[in-house]
A and B are shown apart, each in its own frame.
Chain A
């Protein structure tokens, strides 16, 4: 293979694909990026066996062919080359790839293209196209609640499924780690109405979030029983789905919580952030004491001290004292969009519902902590 590529094109694409490659690999070929030159473009591809990203860049192909080289090394080389450089890639006859740009010259060990694993996809039953922004919002609002617990692998992703709300099919995203749950939904795009529920793994979620740059660019989503594919311009991301059953989350979303609190989001987040300074250790609770018109936030840490802050709120219901993990409160506060957050409590031992007063399509559930 012999190809010449503009450095900025190559850098951008390598930037997209090389992230998929794990830094430490026991299988050498998985450290490599596949490059195939044909028909005026250079196709790059990287995989970790669960996730695969390919991208094509315009190139001058002297001689067609394909090879694989260590992804992170190639990325670092291209990154350090001067802006505007022309990069030539040549496998020649030998077992090495020669990378040349200006006066720099590198040779890299190659592995045969035939060893490179392929994430065979089979047939996609569902296909729909949405603006990148829609995908981004669904992910943003739920990503923080994805569990990292290995034991419950079926929580290590976002559950995407179709529900019918008021007669309308909606595409809903849900994530939970058992302590908090985030749910966001949009009107189901055309073609998605029949999609079966899928669990999109955390790593794929993170990569997609980084790949969508232009909010209005169309993203095509294709889904099969075991795989999902996102096509964003010249980039194609294919991921395995998590093979598991997402829990019946609807049962834990409180319906009858009648103690309603309305609070200014910014003021609340600021207060939580300040009092939680005292709770150095993970898992310490912020206590919210609510009574008519006011909320007292407090943290008591026997090792370091205590903190209290009072804010004025709209709370007409019976007084209640309830504790939450400070980080979880901040995570939720960061997702709310409008100025006013709405909390619905039942009692100090039951899940609390948090919503954005004017954004009915997203909701959050937090499990209280004993205080």
Chain B
């Protein structure tokens, strides 16, 4: 497609056909669509944040068209929490992370679907592949959102970043069947804020000219890293709006709030120098699950632990990683979180070892307490060639490691359920998905 207008002059573009325009008009001159994005700096901004709309729910609706006009909640069973609610359910007051019983109080006719993380992860990867086709600078934040830096891609794609992004959104809708919202700006902080402005199916732009005035009226909680505690602390000092921070000098903020103060000073002035980093380094690999009914019994917990350890091990092996620290996470029936860690002499990636260390920690915690969640993770990564050396103190470890390699090979061929340890069959009954 040839472009009549070069990037710098582009002030508007059609989000359906991607055609740029020199000025904002009510409808696209080419396709007649009213969905135009207009901004004076549209042609010069290159940092974007892409966020899928109601990701899990959107995928379920895509796969079952009969759900299209029904409120859909994706989440764990009759207890557990809402993972994602579709926009119809959101209108009725359902929110992410809301306990399921509350969500069903607000929206009794909702269709509740058990999350199928494997399916969502696969779709997430498809979306990521499409992003990577535009730029190598894609920084995933989670399964369904990522930053992209499209600076310097204009000649490659024959279109300014904004046009490439509009086409990307259209392509995701057409080929994958879900919608996304895009925020475009000149840094990550503002791009992320922008993507949230017009959800769903949004395309929002925050330019350099209006960044400061835009931020000034927003609450400080919008700043990345300012949580409830920091908000309360700032409120106690009379700071509620970002505009107040803009008027305070950097030294004062740093003195009062330390390194956080510096961040407040910079971000409030729309100064975010964090680059879009393609592969945020993984700090830990973990897996956890919330039970349908609380469990106090060690044997049942061990069974679940084994499956989780295998999952973590699988991911470690796939990423060619190994870690020295194993962390066990438990949530009691009254929502208290317990974490226990063990440092190993050698980094590991074996399910056998992760499970054994986790089991040892778990045995100390099972004193009749009922748990609703169990998780295990590996962190403190080390060079993979140091992982799981032969062990003088455990002459059978080598044999078990070979058995695990054999199991991995079988699973690689016939699927993860092809071979299971007897232990895994002791898990509590779970309704089929």
Report the stretch among B7-15, B120-128, B201-209, B383-391 that lies at the interface. B383-391
Contact partner, B386, options A151, A251, A283, A351, Cβ 8 Å? A283
Indicate if the CB atoms of B344 and A155 lie closer than 8 Å: no
List 30 contacting pairs A-B, 8 Å CB cutoff, sorted by A: A149-B344, A149-B345, A151-B342, A151-B360, A152-B393, A155-B393, A176-B393, A177-B345, A177-B393, A178-B345, A178-B391, A178-B392, A178-B394, A179-B389, A179-B392, A180-B392, A181-B392, A247-B394, A247-B395, A248-B395, A249-B392, A249-B393, A251-B395, A252-B392, A351-B390, A367-B390, A367-B391, A367-B392, A369-B386, A370-B385
Which residue of chain B has its CB nearest to the CB of A180? B392
Indicate if the CB atoms of B390 and A176 lie closer than 8 Å: no
Nearest CB of A to B395, in Å: 5
B394 CB contacts on chain A under 8 angstroms: 178, 247
Q: Is the interface of A mostly helix, strand, loop or mixed?
A: loop
Indicate if the CB atoms of B395 and A150 lie closer than 8 Å: no
Q: Interface on B for A, CB 8 Å cutoff?
A: 342-346, 356-357, 360, 382-383, 385-386, 389-395
Q: For the complex, is A270 an interface residue (Cβ under 8 Å from B)?
A: no
Q: For the complex, is A349 an interface residue (Cβ under 8 Å from B)?
A: yes
A176 CB contacts on chain B under 8 angstroms: 392-393
Nearest CB of B to A103, in Å: 48
B383 CB contacts on chain A under 8 angstroms: 283
Q: What is the CA–CA distance of A149 and B326 in the complex, to the nearest angstrom? A: 13
Q: For the complex, is A365 an interface residue (Cβ under 8 Å from B)?
A: yes
Chain A interface category by residue count: 20 to 34
A367 CB contacts on chain B under 8 angstroms: 389-392
Nearest CB of B to A144, in Å: 14
A 325-355 binary contact with B (CB < 8 Å = 1; else 0):
0000000000000000000000001010000
Which among B390, B391, B392, B395 has the greatest number of chain A C-beta atoms within 10 A? B392
B343 CB contacts on chain A under 8 angstroms: 149-150
Nearest CB of A to B204, in Å: 45
Nearest CB of B to A125, in Å: 28
Given contacts A147-B345, A151-B357, A177-B345, A247 and B393 within 8 Å (CB-CB)? yes
Indicate if the CB atoms of B392 and A365 lie closer than 8 Å: yes
B360 CB contacts on chain A under 8 angstroms: 151
Nearest CB of B to A325, in Å: 10
A 270-284 binary contact with B (CB < 8 Å = 1; else 0):
000000000000010
A370 CB contacts on chain B under 8 angstroms: 385, 389
Q: What is the CA–CA distance of A325 and B55 in the complex, to the nearest angstrom? A: 49
20 A-B pairs besides A179-B389, A369-B389 with CB distance below 8 A are: A147-B345, A149-B345, A151-B342, A151-B360, A152-B393, A178-B345, A178-B391, A178-B393, A179-B345, A179-B392, A181-B393, A247-B393, A247-B394, A251-B395, A252-B395, A351-B392, A367-B390, A369-B386, A370-B385, A370-B389
Nearest CB of B to A146, in Å: 11
A181 CB contacts on chain B under 8 angstroms: 392-393
Which residue of chain A has its CB nearest to the CB of B353? A151
